[in-house]
């Protein structure tokens, strides 16, 4: 099942299923926009149950400001998730990155909790090529332990698997297991990104059981297709139909995980609405 092209020619085609289940919350990622953008409106136009947003520049170190739609996000019915900036890397041995990364993770956690988010998503990060990966896993433990001394994070921290990098903390199953040996006791959550898993060479037909066997949980699925072949190490998302992963494989990952879903696929509300409707039908 790894790396097969979709047989479906469009979203009207329904993949084979293993039987009816409760359809999980299906949401969409709304990228960094101007302050007057309304993620609630975009989620509604997509027919989504949830939304994932940034609270600051995803490539910057700025402290998040109060979101202009904070009250509606906090008091509304959408499942809200916040993605930490991509530059956050608490694993690295580079003090200029690790120390501000810890601080930024904490400030984003507070800001995410203030809008009622269900979790703060952060990439697993990596260490330098010359470093022993053990140091990176230990740096993750220290990040949680030091936060614990200050009362802990105000919402779940959901660590996401990544696509590439030989010294990445969450690319390979063995690395994820070593990371969880360090952070599992702190209640860290896990985000399974299907594009990242495919790109890293993980087998999507078994990855849900394998991840659960390591972490005991999958809190969120980033359901994304890939523009590149399995094992490429490249993080380039594609629409649900038309990428290198068979669409029915993506559906079965979602079904097996039984967790809320966020689509980070290309396009706007029109494309996302079609994908959301397709997933609901396929899972019903």
For the chain, list the domains and their CATH numbers: 26-283 (3.20.20.150)
The whole model's pTM is what?
0.92
Q: What is the pLDDT of residue 211?
A: 98
CA-based nearest residue to 93, from 135, 123, 125, 134: 135
Split at pLDDT 50, 70, 90, the class of 160 is very high
Split at pLDDT 50, 70, 90, the class of 3 is very low
Averaged pLDDT for residues 248-258: 98
Q: Which of 18-32, 47-61, 220-234 has the lowest mean pLDDT?
A: 18-32
Angle at which helices 133-149 and 95-114 cross, to 10°: 40
Does residue 7 surpass a pLDDT of 90?
no
H or E element: which one contains 29?
Answer: strand 26-30
CA distance 167 to 161: 13
Q: What is the pLDDT of residue 22?
A: 78
Averaged pLDDT for residues 102-111: 97
Tokens 């809200």 — which residue? Answer: 80
The tens digit of pLDDT for each residue in 83-95 reads: 999 999 999 999 9
Does residue 270 surpass a pLDDT of 80?
yes
Tell how strand 50-53 and strand 26-30 pair up.
parallel
The tens digit of pLDDT for each residue in 204-244 reads: 999 999 999 999 999 999 999 999 999 999 999 999 998 99
Q: Which residue has the higher pLDDT, 1 or 154?
A: 154
CA distance 79 to 112: 12
Split at pLDDT 50, 70, 90, the class of 166 is confident
Split at pLDDT 50, 70, 90, the class of 32 is low
């Amino acid at each position: 099942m790894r790396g097969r092209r979709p047989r479906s020619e469009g979203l009207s085609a329904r993949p084979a299923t293993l039987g009816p289940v409760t359809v999980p919350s299906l949401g969409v990622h709304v990228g960094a926009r101007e302050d007057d953008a309304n993620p609630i409106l975009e989620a509604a136009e997509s027919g989504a149950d949830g939304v994932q947003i940034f609270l600051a520049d995803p490539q910057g170190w700025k402290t998040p400001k109060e979101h202009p739609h904070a009250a509606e996000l906090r008091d509304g019915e959408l499942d809200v998730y916040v993605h930490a900036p991509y530059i956050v890397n608490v694993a690295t041995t580079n003090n200029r990155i690790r120390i501000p990364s810890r601080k930024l993770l904490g400030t984003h956690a507070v800001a995410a909790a203030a809008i009622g988010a269900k979790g703060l998503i952060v990439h697993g990060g990596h260490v330098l090529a010359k470093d022993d990966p053990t140091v990176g896993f230990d740096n993750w433990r220290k990040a949680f332990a030091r936060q614990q001394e200050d009362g802990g994070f105000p919402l779940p921290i959901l660590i996401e698997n990544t696509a590439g990098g030989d010294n990445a903390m969450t690319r390979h199953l063995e690395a994820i297991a070593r990371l969880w040996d360090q952070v599992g006791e702190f209640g860290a959550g896990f985000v399974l990104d299907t594009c990242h898993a495919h790109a890293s060479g993980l087998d999507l037909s078994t990855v849900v059981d394998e991840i659960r066997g390591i972490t005991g949980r999958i809190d969120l699925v980033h359901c994304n297709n890939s523009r590149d072949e399995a094992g490429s190490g490249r993080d380039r998302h594609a629409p649900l139909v038309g990428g290198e992963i068979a669409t029915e494989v993506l559906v079965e990952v979602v079904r097996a995980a039984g967790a809320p879903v966020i689509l980070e696929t290309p396009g706007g509300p029109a494309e996302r609405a079609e994908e959301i409707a397709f997933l609901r039908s396929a899972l019903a």
